[in-house]
Structure 1
Amino acid sequence: MRIAIVDYGMGNLHSVTKALEHVAGDADIVLTDDPLVVEAADKVVFPGQGAMPDCMRYLQNSGLEDAVRDAASHKPFLGICVGAQLLFDHSEEGDTNGMGIFAGDVVRFPKAAMVDEHGQKLKVPHMGWNQMMIKRDHPLWAGIPDLDRFYFVHSYHFRPSDDITVIESAYPYRFAAAVARDNIFAIQCHPEKSHHAGLQLLKNFVHWDGRP
């Protein structure tokens, strides 16, 4: 089995690659910017860091967008951070159209709402460890307790139009931290930086057959 990690020039993907290799068993992990390799892979991981307009532009110019769309249509598919955001219709970041695989928008944390229960200002970007609240069971969350913590770095979060949220977090209000539909699972935080819980999610993906 081959798992392709899509390299579209945005962010250091070393940690994603190493984390997957750690849990992959006999699976072949390949970091690639070649659309043909993505198309031939059995499973696809779509990570990303940086500004969404730059990410979308590179995807379109490199020829990777079509390969990613094809993979998301039928293969076990894991979107991470900006890779997850790109699956939605539109982002407020740079007024950017996404890939439209999921209905909904990517929105910035509003300055007026960023205070905790004690009235203290919260910083944007949201950076650090935060609890994950299970809204709906999913095979990729097997073995991960409710309220376990994952690592976040983001100023924007997705706001799905459809009922696809499986995990929520709060900063300070509740937002969709992971969404899933059919063969796609997309998560806002960084499982590769989230210690045991993140490695468990990646291990679950390695063994996932793409069914909800």
Structure 2
Amino acid sequence: MCSVAIFDYGMGNLHSIAKALQHADPGASVTVTDDPGAIRRAQRVVFPGVGAIRDCMAMLDQRRLLPALHQAAASKPFLGICLGMQALLEESEENGGIRCLGLIPGRVVRFPEGLRDPAGQPLKIPHMGWNRVQPVIDHPLWQGIEPGSRFYFVHSYYAEPAQRRDLAATTDYPAPFAAALAHDNLFAVQFHPEKSQAVGLRLLANFLRWDPAR
């Protein structure tokens, strides 16, 4: 039986993520926890998040979860979602500039003002709703997911990885940005798989079966 710990640091759609993981694999043991011991014992870890990066980093420190997070990120299949993806990079320009976890080289930047689609129509910030995701690497988490599948996004900031090899997928708004990152045993997505219906559940099921050592 696969055991999964969802980091509970007071931010994120924890119930919906837990429910989606359980639906993706009814045999999985899914725990929402802020107990470092439970996180260490779990075979896989999910790091969700919504809101501001400053609050995310403060809550991780306040709940003394940083050592457990770093240990999990070094040793287990690890999935970051939305803000949980952005926090993996080195820094974010949100909130005037915030140091992040530094697990993936790169930074987080805001969509510029005045974006327009190819027809010249203004694009709103935050980027909210369904958009197509184009994988740029062959990765086990894309198994069974057609290129160009639509996933659900809600964000005003996006990741800029320092190394092209860490880029796993892009989405256009209107220029391509990083929709997913892959770095060793880390996989992270800017979209919300738990809100992305069948393709989101497939990605979560792929994560529950993923063996980074292969």
Q: 2:106 maps to what in 1?
A: 104
Structure 1: 4+ residue segments shifted above 6 A: none
- One-letter amino acid of the structure 2 residue matched with residue 76 of structure 1: P
Q: CA shift at 1:12, angstroms?
A: 3.0
Q: Determine if contact 1:77/1:210 at 8 Å carries over to the other structure.
A: no
Q: 2:61 maps to what in 1?
A: 60
Q: 1:118 maps to what in 2?
A: 119
Q: Which runs of 5+ in 1 are unaligned?
A: none
Q: Determine if contact 2:13/2:48 at 8 Å carries over to the other structure.
A: no
The Cα offsets for residues 53-72 of structure 1, whole Å up to 9 and x where unpaired, read as 00110001111111111101
SS at match of 2:90: strand
Q: Which runs of 5+ in 2 are unaligned?
A: none
Q: 1:200 maps to what in 2?
A: 202
SS at match of 1:177: strand
Q: 1:37 maps to what in 2?
A: 38
Q: Determine if contact 1:89/1:104 at 8 Å carries over to the other structure.
A: yes
Query: RMSD in angstroms over aligned alpha carbons?
Result: 1.0
Q: 1:12 maps to what in 2?
A: 13
SS at match of 2:129: strand
- One-letter amino acid of the structure 2 residue matched with residue 88 of structure 1: L
**In 2: Cα distance, 1:24 partner to 1:69 partner:** 26
SS at match of 2:30: strand
Q: CA shift at 1:14, angstroms?
A: 1.0
TM-score relative to the length of structure 2: 0.96
Q: Determine if contact 1:140/1:208 at 8 Å carries over to the other structure.
A: yes
Identity of aligned residues (%): 51
Q: CA shift at 1:160, angstroms?
A: 0.2
Q: Determine if contact 2:52/2:94 at 8 Å carries over to the other structure.
A: yes
TM-score relative to the length of structure 1: 0.97
**In 1: Cα distance, 2:58 partner to 2:15 partner:** 22
The Cα offsets for residues 54-99 of structure 1, whole Å up to 9 and x where unpaired, read as 0110001111111111101110000000001000000011111100
The Cα offsets for residues 158-202 of structure 1, whole Å up to 9 and x where unpaired, read as 000012101100101100100101111000000000001000000
SS at match of 2:94: coil
How many residues align? The count is 211
- One-letter amino acid of the structure 1 residue matched with residue 51 of structure 2: G
Q: 1:51 maps to what in 2?
A: 52
Q: Determine if contact 2:7/2:45 at 8 Å carries over to the other structure.
A: yes
Q: CA shift at 1:210, angstroms?
A: 2.2
SS at match of 2:105: strand
Q: CA shift at 1:115, angstroms?
A: 0.7
Q: Aligned runs of 1:97-176 on 2, under 5 Å?
A: 97-112=99-114, 114-163=115-164, 164-176=166-178
